[in-house]
Amino acid sequence: MHAPAQYAPALEEHPVLPEGDGERVSGYRVMGLTFSSGHVLGLRRWTASSVGDERTSKIKATG
């Protein structure tokens, strides 16, 4: 089994779109990572998409 930090680079280097006819995405996410400063990070990264280019969505909130 790989460490979580190894999955993101592998998905970035070799994105694979799941098979099917509908809308599909492939990628990774980090949800609710809290830092000692009180900031909370939410990140979603689509490395492959059937409906357009890859996308990154980030949310930073203070606690």
The low-confidence residues of the chain, meaning pLDDT below 50, are none
pTM of the complete model: 0.69
What's residue 25's pLDDT?
92
Q: Which residues of 39-53 are buried (b: 16+ CB within 10 A; e: fewer)?
A: eeeeeebbbbbeeee
Give residue-wise pLDDT tens across range 43-52. Answer: 899 999 999 8
- Picking from 47, 3, 51, the residue whose alpha carbon sits closest to that of residue 28 is 47
What's residue 63's pLDDT?
62
